[in-house]
Structure 1
Amino acid sequence: MVRIAFIILTWNSEKYIYTCIKSILNLNFEKIYISIADNGSKDKTIDIINSFKISNKNVIMKLVKLEKNLGTTVSRNIAIESIKKDVDYLCILDSDTEINQKSIEHMINLLKIDRKNGIIGPKMISRDGYIQPSGRNIPTLTIKFLKALPFDYLQKKGESLEEIDKNKMLYDNNIFKVGYLMSACWVMRTELIDKIGLLDENIFYAPEDVEFCLRAWVNGYNVLYDKNVEIIHEWQRISRKKILSKHNWEHIKGLIYLFIKYKYIFSSKCFEFLWNDCK
């Protein structure tokens, strides 16, 4: 029996949330929970969520309406806490995703193969066919600096440093150990939260995904990028829309916090031994 909860964070998500929820309702599992935390949306997001009339007794949807934008960690933690005692698996989702049965089943099966497989993420593609680098090496100050410079060559150099080593395969040619996964779609056992804790609320917006994956690695769990399956992700890339913005400032603060917490800055080699022993 599979009991799974989908944790969705919304913030002015009227353009995407209907498709996201609809894709979850098309799944076939014994028990499906949908836990949504809304960060004070001012558009029609709440109306769209409330328009769903759940008739399937195996599906339960909860909505937590927050008065303001509390960021990605506090909000997701509220949604996780509201549901985790009822399920065996958690799927963290962005509101601009569209999932499918094959992908979720395959990632759950990877968790079943080895209890040390902690977090699984799929290949993510936008509707226009852009394949996103959803499994990456751990970011360093060098990588972030190169990607922020207004020169295509240097930006591409920074992006190349993030690319996963194709030799770090696990099980087959399409499953890789990676430093971290974009949190637009994670699948994990609920017990992972009990073992390593919730998302770090000292980070408002990013890189909460890096921090959580690093914590999984440090505690002996694998972080795996599963290229056998894919989902749709429209990837709004909020931090790149405005150079001078609250999101970018919060991202910078989050990076500084990450570097201090894990005691690295220019190189992540101190962590590479954790995933260099691929089978």
Structure 2
Amino acid sequence: MGIDLNIVIVTYNNKDLLKKCIESVNKSIENVALSSNVTVVDNASNDGTEDLIKSIPNVKYIKNKSNIGLAKALNIGIKSNLDSRYTLLLNDDVELFPETINLMIEMLEKYSSAYGIPARLIYPDGAPQRMKLKIIGVSKSIKQNISFINFAGTTACLYKTSIFNKIGLFDEFYFFYNEDLDFSLRAKRNGINFVFNPEIKVIHHKKKGRKKVEKEIKPYFYATDFYFYRKNYGILFAGIYLLMAFWHIKRSEKNFKRNNQEDKLLMLYRAKERLKSTIKNFKNLVKQ
């Protein structure tokens, strides 16, 4: 018999925050009258994460052999329970409140046409995290009241699992960033929307969680953005982006050389080569 709620947490070398995340999830589950399980997908951490998970009961642990990126890891967690009613996706650097999951479920039951509900992200001191970005067809702007929206980030979002059967999983090209934007745009183009309630919040340790993996994710930025524009908006938009990207790369290269920032220069060269490879192999990379 399947479970009602599949909670998926993707982690990578973030043991201390992961512990807080799981503890908050377990407290929030206590207020939910549904069967549930917690699945941690580990992108080959080497900081003692595996020992931590072994010390916590009732957590399903999937350890990848290497860091395969966020989208692939999310898909592994989702596919582990595709027959569940709901799927809650969480970053390892978030903390839920005791009422969070129950409120999310109540919202999806009340607004039955919506297929997901992202939480509002706040800093540990309670200050809201600002998120304002508009791409043609998708807006990340924060709403001040209950609203139907067309963007759902994967930092902390409860989905009806049926959405993945309707429009597919996350595009696995995205190592980090844009996987949620791409998915949200695909949902919108299929007539699917989400609901947002600004009173449903989670704490997001934004800078702490991201700083640890900065060297691994930065080389993907240019390639990720190019791929997103080329896939979703065609050659013209992708071409405009490339002009800006190569201008930015050239300017950054001069600055890094002038300031003898060898680490940043090496990272920039890796990013440039990945971008060139993505341009060359785009047709073979795009799948959804």
Shared fold, TM over 0.5: yes
Is the 8 Å Cα contact of residues 92 and 187 (structure 1) preserved in structure 2?
Answer: yes
2:141 corresponds to 1:164: yes
Q: Distance in 2 between matches of 1:201 and 1:163?
A: 22
Match of residue 66 from structure 1: 64
Alignment partner of 1:83 out of 77, 81, 84:
81
Q: Distance in 1 between matches of 2:213 and 2:86?
A: 36
Alignment partner of 2:118 out of 106, 118, 121:
121
Match of residue 48 from structure 1: 52
Alignment partner of 1:234 out of 186, 205, 217:
205
Q: Distance in 1 between matches of 2:210 and 2:217?
A: 6
Return the structure number with greater strand share: 1
Name the TM-score, length of structure 1 as normaliser: 0.74
Q: Distance in 2 between matches of 1:181 and 1:237?
A: 22
Shift of 1:95: 0.7
Match of residue 13 from structure 2: 12
Name the TM-score, length of structure 2 as normaliser: 0.72
SS at match of 1:228: coil
SS at match of 1:181: coil
Match of residue 177 from structure 2: 206
Higher relative contact order (CA 8 A, sep 6+): 1
Taking a change above 3 Å as real, the CA distance of residues 43 and 240 of structure 1, as seen in their structure-2 partners, is closer
Shift of 1:242: 9.3
Shift of 1:181: 3.2
Shift of 1:239: 6.5
Match of residue 159 from structure 1: none
Q: Distance in 2 between matches of 1:119 and 1:257?
A: 25
One-letter amino acid of the counterpart of residue 184, structure 1: T
Is the 8 Å Cα contact of residues 35 and 83 (structure 1) preserved in structure 2?
Answer: no
Query: Which structure has the greater CA radius of gyration?
Result: 2
One-letter amino acid of the counterpart of residue 117, structure 1: A
Would you say how many aligned residue pairs link Structure 1 and Structure 2?
231
Coordinate RMSD, CA, aligned:
2.7
Match of residue 275 from structure 2: none
Shift of 1:198: 0.7
Shift of 1:65: 0.8
Q: Distance in 2 between matches of 1:79 and 1:163?
A: 25
Is the 8 Å Cα contact of residues 111 and 118 (structure 1) preserved in structure 2?
Answer: yes
Match of residue 276 from structure 2: none
Matches within 5 A, 1:130-145: 130-134=127-131, 136-139=132-135
In structure 2, stretches of 5+ residues that fail to align are 241-288
| 1:99-156 Cα distance to aligned partner (Å, 9 max, x none) | 134222222222223433122111111213331135x44447xxxxxxxxxxxxxxxx
In structure 1, stretches of 5+ residues that fail to align are 55-60, 141-161, 167-172, 268-279
Q: Distance in 1 between matches of 2:184 and 2:208?
A: 20
Is the 8 Å Cα contact of residues 138 and 210 (structure 1) preserved in structure 2?
Answer: no
2:23 corresponds to 1:22: yes
Is the 8 Å Cα contact of residues 119 and 198 (structure 2) preserved in structure 1?
Answer: yes
Q: Distance in 2 between matches of 1:240 and 1:15?
A: 14
Q: Distance in 1 between matches of 2:140 and 2:81?
A: 34
| 1:217-259 Cα distance to aligned partner (Å, 9 max, x none) | 111111333202111111137767898x441221221111111
| 1:169-214 Cα distance to aligned partner (Å, 9 max, x none) | xxxx522344423311011111111111111112111110101111
